Chains A and B, each alone.
Chain A
Amino acid sequence: MAMVAIATVRIRNLFAVVMLSGIYSLLAASLFVLLDAVDVALTEAAVGAGIMIILMLGALALTTSQEKVRANRQSLAALVIVMITGGALIYGTLDMPLMGDPEAPAHTHLAPHFTQQSVEEIGIPNMVTSVLASYRGLDTLGEAVVVLTAAVGVLLVIGSGRARKRGHRRKVMERQADS
């Protein structure tokens, strides 16, 4: 966990931000394994450290990979805001149940039903799968809708630029042909 934090602190200073964010995702995935969330760890390793990096590298290839050095004028104000928010959040955690406490509200409401009965009700030994596909199937449908919307949005945003450029080029060529 300390390594994750160190990696993220280093992110701010290096130009290899994207590679570091990949390392960060991988560390987060190993942390998820330690916290008994193997499915989440698999997804985070595949998606966070895999697809995310490919997307970022693609964006870097289409824009620029060098950040310009500039004077940070507002960074002190930003630091103060961050400190105040962080202090408030840490104060808030003092009222949280201790980690792993079996009496915590998260473990007393629906979790016993899922862990004790889902194998009989659904017939899949992996409880995460049965909750994902059956009890919370509607959420998964919503997730699919979000991904579809994002794909359509990306195609519209990038595609429209390309189309306009092509149209512009055609106009220029027509003008050259006329003259």
Chain B
Amino acid sequence: MEWIGFYNYWVVVVLMMIGFYIVIAQGNLIKKIVGLNIFQTSVFIFFISLAKLDGGTAPIYVEGVTEYANPLPHVLILTAIVVGVAVTAMGLALVIRINELYGSIEEDEIHEEDEAQ
């Protein structure tokens, strides 16, 4: 049953690759941002998996409990989630601006219009 210890990492890799594929293969800019979010969340799951401790509980002090999950990755991921929202907001703002300029959010059409000019 040793593979069960790696199972989380493999899920992370699969999710990360799905996000990566969406980012590089899809032409729709909003879909690309969703892919970026999936990629981000996979990294979050990776960090939280590292913080997990067998026999430990959530890192909130309880009388008589000595084993807790590692709180440091939790803090880093809290920060990363908020930063991720900031990045998403910025990306969506750029998409809206591109749509105002080109009238499209498809990569192909934007390239065509660029070359036509």
Contacts and interface: CB of A to CB of B under 8 A. Distances in A.
B68 to A, nearest CB: 4
A177 interface: no
Contacts of B60: 38, 125-128
B49 A126 contact: no
Contact of A63 (B7, B57, B95): B95
A161 to B, nearest CB: 5
B6 A139 contact: no
A154 interface: yes
A125 B57 CA distance: 13
Nearest to B105: A63
A17 B74 CA distance: 28
B32 to A, nearest CB: 11
Given A36-B69, A52-B37, A5 B11 contact: yes
A47 interface: yes
Interface string B5-39: 11111110111111111101111101101100110
Which of A18, A68, A151 has the most chain B CB within a 10 Å cutoff? A68
Contacts of A172: none
A27 B62 CA distance: 27
How big is the A interface, by class? 35 or more
Interface residues of B, number: 84
B92 A36 contact: no
Interface in A70-113: 70, 72, 74-75, 78-79, 81-83, 85-86, 89-90, 93-94, 96, 98-102, 104, 106-107, 110-111
Given A4-B15, A86-B16, 20 more contacts: A36-B56, A37-B58, A40-B81, A47-B82, A47-B85, A55-B92, A62-B96, A64-B99, A78-B25, A98-B2, A99-B52, A115-B70, A125-B60, A125-B61, A131-B72, A131-B74, A132-B79, A147-B86, A153-B93, A157-B93
Interface of A: 1, 4-5, 8-9, 11-12, 17-18, 21, 24-25, 28, 31-32, 35-40, 43-44, 47-48, 51-52, 55-56, 58-60, 62-64, 67-68, 70, 72, 74-75, 78-79, 81-83, 85-86, 89-90, 93-94, 96, 98-102, 104, 106-107, 110-111, 114-116, 118-119, 125-128, 131-132, 136, 139-140, 142-143, 146-147, 149-151, 153-154, 157-158, 161, 165
